Structure formats: C-alpha cells, structure tokens
C-alpha cells in the first residue's frame, strides 16, 4: 500500500486529499530539509512501498515523439542559481513520481494536472499508465529563476513535461512567450490562466509598534531575496531616492541566496541605516508589514505573475511593478517601470511619496480593480481547459 493519509475538508466538498510522506519542498533550509527527510524515512520504515520504474515512462513518451527526460542521479545534491533548492531534490522528484503513480493506479479520474517541474515526472508517469490527458501548469520557468544560467537538468525536465503534456497552462502571456521561444512548445497547445487572491475583509491602516520613526515613509520590498526578484535594483533606486528625500525607510522582507550580498551592498552604498532587513515573514507579520507600508515595489527581473502586488493593493498600498511581470498585464492602476531603469524607478517612488493625490488615486482605484480578480474565474478557466480534453458527453464543472 502507498503510505498516504486520505482526508476531506468541509470547505472542499468534491475534493479528496492524499497526504504523502514527501520531502518535496524546494525553499527549505538545509536543516529543515534534513529534519523533513528524517520524518519521511521514519514513516517509510514502517510501510513497504512498491517501486515504480520511472525510466519506463520516459521510454513510452519518447515512442510518442516527445523529448526524453534527462536521466536522473538520485544521490546528487545541488543549490539552484536562483531558486535556492537544497538537499537531494532530484531523488525526491523521482520518489514522489513513484509514490503518486502507484496511488493514481488505484483512482478513477479524467485529467491529470501537474504544477511546475518537480511534479512533471509524476504527471508523465501517470499519463503513461492511465492514458489520460496531462495538463502541466507553468508557474515559473528555469529562465525566470536563473536567467541565462539555467540548470540544464531542470530545463530538460521542464521541457519534457511541456512536450509530453496535452495542454500547457501559463500564468501570463509573458510566461507563454518564454514557453514558446525557449521550450519550443506550439502556441496552440498553451492556455493562459491568471492568478488571483482572496480579498482582504479589512484594509484599514493601523499603527504598529516598531523602531521606525513614525514620520518616515516606508517603501516595501517583500519577496525572496534572489536574482529573479531584482533586489539590487531596489537598492539602487533606494540610493537615488535617499539622495534627495531623506525621510524614507526602505524595508526588505524576505530571505534567499542573495541576502548576504544585498546587506553588504546596502552598506557599501552608505544607506545601511535606512534599509531594514526583516528576514522571512509569515502570517500576521506579513499583514503588519503591509499595513505599515506607504508604497510597495516589485522590481522583478522576470516574474511569471506576481501575487504580492495584489496583496499589497488589497491592503490599500499603492504599487510599482516591473514591466517584466505577468501581473502588469492585468493591472492598470499601478505604476510600471523596466526593472533596469533605476532612475525612473526612483522618480516614481518619489512621486508617490511626495504627491498625496497620486498616492490616493493609486490606492483607491487599485483596490477597486483588484476586487474584480477572482479565484472563481481562474478555476472556471482551468475547468474550461479540462473540458477541452474530456469526451463531449462528460462535461466537468
């Protein structure tokens, strides 16, 4: 038997969940990963697991004309250029594929939906066993995470999944372009489904106790401190703002493989006393930091979508986003700038902070705009994709 715990949640009447003992968590620290691995092995030691030969899946797909997956090396450990993957991630991807394939053989279903590269091998394996159509959902690509310094093995897995799938869903037209130009996936195979957020019931600004001067304006960067998110461009713009407008504090909330470099960069620029690094935030701390902010900036180098700007807007915070983001395709009441144009980024930051009418307009109109973005619409769009792939007399709702 597969070591899966099955459970239901009352919020999801038509969904059955299977909790598998998997360490497939890419953004863990090495210490957290090792602890997760101990827990997984403890569970496995009590249950005999039938193995599934993942190589057969690659062979079957190759016979159908799709590119063959790169051979795996279960013992390899690596840290990705932009994603900060730690631990024996490749073997976890293979192991997850074996577990899920065995579990799927006991289920009845019409469509397989796999999200991002770590689940593509599982999706391909299930498709090979069941003959059911596979949808792969691209939330991010190796080019987004690592620029031109791609991990070839991850790229091969991504490409194999996209070409082996019946449909490819991307979270923006920006990502669709990458999928067509970098992975050579035909346009007619791709569908775009934008992300959304759950609306915040109360977005009133409330005072939070901090050591920041209450008269200082707060400009927020919230996200992983990695190449993809453009933290160095945020600091370069901050330096230019502080040269002419001292009453500002820049807050960088997040962690990542560039954190040490970014802290050192702030010190070298002479603005270390004006930049607050909070580390990784979750839950109520995220709510607090949004409520404190006067402006949110997302200077991403390549952002497939970008949910954080929607969260900021839902908290009544004006937003500046890079034009190299999927979310910029659907938002009108935000300011947009090329990530590399730090002069223009600084100008826009100053404009929002110094001109209350602009601040108010962005805040009020943005809040109205984001309320129209619904997960219900995203779910309907995914359902439409499923209905393309199932028999016409078997409509999925």
The CA distance from 96 to 119, in Å, is 8
pLDDT at 1: 55
Q: What is the pLDDT of residues 97-135, one digit of tens each?
A: 999 999 999 999 999 999 999 999 999 999 999 999 999
Statement to judge: residues 191 and 273 lie in one domain: no
Give the three-state DSSP class for 208: coil
Q: Evaluate if residue 85 carries a pLDDT over 70.
A: no
Statement to judge: residues 121 and 82 lie in one domain: yes
Statement to judge: residues 46 and 152 lie in one domain: yes
Of the two residues 378 and 202, the one the predictor is more confident about is 378
Q: Evaluate if residue 247 carries a pLDDT over 50.
A: yes
Determine the structural domain holding residue 281 and report its residue range: 217-370
Residue 58 lies in a domain: yes
Q: How confident is the model at residue 215 (pLDDT cuts 50, 70, 90)?
A: confident
Q: What is the pLDDT of residues 7-41, one digit of tens each?
A: 777 778 888 888 887 777 655 555 555 555 565 55
pLDDT at 9: 79
Statement to judge: residues 184 and 268 lie in one domain: no
CATH of the domain at 353: 3.40.50.2000
Statement to judge: residues 262 and 334 lie in one domain: yes
- How far does the chain reach from its first CA to its final CA, in angstroms? 31
Give the three-state DSSP class for 115: strand
Statement to judge: residues 380 and 260 lie in one domain: no
Residue 62 lies in a domain: yes
* Mean of all residue pLDDT scores within the chain: 85
Residue 24 lies in a domain: yes
Q: Evaluate if residue 353 carries a pLDDT over 60.
A: yes
Residue 65 lies in a domain: yes
Residue 322 lies in a domain: yes
Q: Evaluate if residue 61 carries a pLDDT over 70.
A: no
Statement to judge: residues 290 and 183 lie in one domain: no
163 Cβ partners below 8 Å, 6+ apart?
Answer: 66, 67, 183, 185
The CA distance from 317 to 137, in Å, is 30
Residue 297 lies in a domain: yes
Residue 76 lies in a domain: yes
Site of tokens 């003992």 = 21
pLDDT at 41: 56
Q: Evaluate if residue 160 carries a pLDDT over 50.
A: yes
Residue 250 lies in a domain: yes
Statement to judge: residues 144 and 88 lie in one domain: yes
Number of domains into which the chain is organized: 2
Q: How confident is the model at residue 195 (pLDDT cuts 50, 70, 90)?
A: very high
Statement to judge: residues 21 and 39 lie in one domain: yes
CATH of the domain at 23: 3.40.50
Statement to judge: residues 188 and 236 lie in one domain: no
pLDDT at 252: 98
Q: Evaluate if residue 204 carries a pLDDT over 60.
A: no
Q: Evaluate if residue 70 carries a pLDDT over 60.
A: no
The whole-model pTM stands at: 0.82
Statement to judge: residues 124 and 243 lie in one domain: no
pLDDT at 4: 63
Statement to judge: residues 292 and 336 lie in one domain: yes
Give how far Cα 128 sits from Cα of 54, 131, 189, Å.
10, 6, 19
């Amino acid at each position: 038997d597969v070591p899966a715990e099955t459970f239901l949640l009352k919020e999801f009447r038509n969904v059955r969940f299977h909790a598998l003992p998997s360490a497939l968590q890419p953004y863990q620290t090495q210490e957290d990963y090792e602890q997760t691995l101990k827990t997984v092995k403890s569970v496995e030691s009590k249950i005999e697991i039938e193995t599934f030969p993942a190589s057969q899946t690659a062979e079957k797909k190759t016979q159908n004309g799709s590119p063959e997956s790169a051979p795996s090396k279960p013992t390899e450990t690596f840290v990705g250029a932009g994603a900060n993957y730690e631990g024996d991630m490749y073997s976890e991807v293979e192991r997850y594929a074996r577990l899920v394939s065995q579990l799927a053989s006991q289920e009845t279903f019409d469509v397989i939906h796999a999200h991002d590269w770590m689940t593509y091998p599982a999706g391909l394996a299930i498709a090979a066993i069941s003959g059911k159509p596979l949808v792969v959902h691209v939330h991010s690509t190796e080019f987004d995470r690592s620029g031109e310094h791609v991990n070839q093995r991850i790229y091969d897995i991504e490409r194999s999944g996209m070409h082996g799938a019946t449909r490819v869903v991307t979270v923006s037209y920006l990502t669709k372009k990458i999928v067509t130009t970098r992975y050579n996936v035909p346009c007619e195979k791709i569908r775009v489904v934008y992300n959304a957020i759950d609306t915040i019931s109360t977005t009133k600004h409330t005072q939070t106790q901090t050591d920041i001067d209450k008269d200082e304006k707060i400009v927020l960067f919230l996200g992983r401190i990695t190449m993809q998110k453009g933290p160095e461009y945020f600091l370069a713009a901050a330096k230019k703002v502080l040269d002419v407008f001292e009453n500002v504090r820049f807050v960088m909330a997040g962690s990542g493989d560039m954190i040490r470099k970014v802290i050192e960069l702030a010190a070298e620029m002479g603005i270390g006393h004006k930049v607050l690094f909070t580390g990784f935030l979750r839950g109520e701390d995220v709510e607090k930091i949004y409520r404190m902010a006067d402006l949110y900036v997302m200077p991403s180098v390549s952002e497939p979508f970008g949910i954080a700007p929607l969260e900021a807007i839902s908290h009544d915070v004006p937003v500046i986003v890079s034009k190299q983001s999927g979310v910029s395709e659907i938002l009108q009441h935000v300011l947009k700038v090329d990530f590399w144009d730090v002069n223009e980024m600084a100008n826009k930051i100053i404009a929002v902070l110094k001109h209350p009418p602009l601040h108010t307009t962005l805040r009020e109109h943005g809040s109205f705009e984001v309320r129209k973005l619904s997960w219900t619409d995203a779910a309907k769009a995914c359902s439409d994709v499923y209905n393309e792939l199932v028999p016409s007399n078997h409509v999925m709702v």
